[in-house]
Amino acid sequence: MPKTIYNVYDKNLSYEKLMLAHKLSRKGKGYRKEIILFNLKQEEYIMWLYNQLRTGKYRHGGYTTFYITEPKLRKIEKSKYIDRIVHRWVVDNFLEPYFVPRFIETSYACLKKRGMHKASCDLQKAMKHCKMIWNEYYILKMDVRKYFDNINKDILYKILESRIKDKKLLWLLGQIIYSSEGKCGLAIGYSN
């Protein structure tokens, strides 16, 4: 995989890929009112979205904020459905193929074929290995508190800018990153 990303935005921008992103975004959620209404005119909406992205007129619609209490109190910021289609298209066509291969093997969250079960199996394998070599071992269980709330948007954008030389893709990522208020903090989406 190349270290720097050039001229991929226009190659990956198509009606078909946006329609696929729509189908993947609605999976398991087809009963929701906003998705039912979108499906009634999906071809028109996808064509409109395609034109907005092609001409550089797309603007992220912001977020609706609500809280969930299970398993603990969390602030959730939910984007409009059409923006979630754009998110899915960006992840599938740019972030996943260019960034995920560079992740360490022990990155598990939200990655295909890597999840809680693989993490659990890999941890058990590591524990057996440590037991065999040292007989004793320690495990530190930790969580970074309010991780997404503390991400500096400018630093994130500069990191992306150092790897991505496609101006249109950087413009779109900027639309998404800076769609919520404040200098720090990324919106935590909700998929249920």
User: pLDDT tens digits for 26-38?
Assistant: 999 989 999 999 9
191 inside domain = no
- Block means of pLDDT (10 residues each) for the chain, 192 residues, are 84 97 93 94 97 96 88 86 96 92 86 88 93 90 80 94 95 93 75 47
17 inside domain = yes
Q: Which domain holds residue 47?
A: 9-177
129 inside domain = yes
For the chain, how many structural domains are there in total? 1
The pTM score is: 0.85
In order of 23, 42, 117, 118, 174, the CA distances from 109 in angstroms are 22, 31, 11, 10, 23
125 inside domain = yes
Q: What percent of the chain has pLDDT over 70?
A: 96
187 inside domain = no
State the helix-helix crossing angle for 42-55 and 81-90, rounded to 10 degrees. Answer: 60
Cα angle value 11/15/21 (rounded, 5°): 90
131 inside domain = yes
Residue type, 69: T
46 inside domain = yes
The reported pLDDT for the residue numbered 73 is 85
The reported pLDDT for the residue numbered 192 is 43
78 inside domain = yes
Task: Name, in order, each residue with C-beta under 8 angstroms of 162's C-beta and a sequence gap of 6 or more.
Answer: none
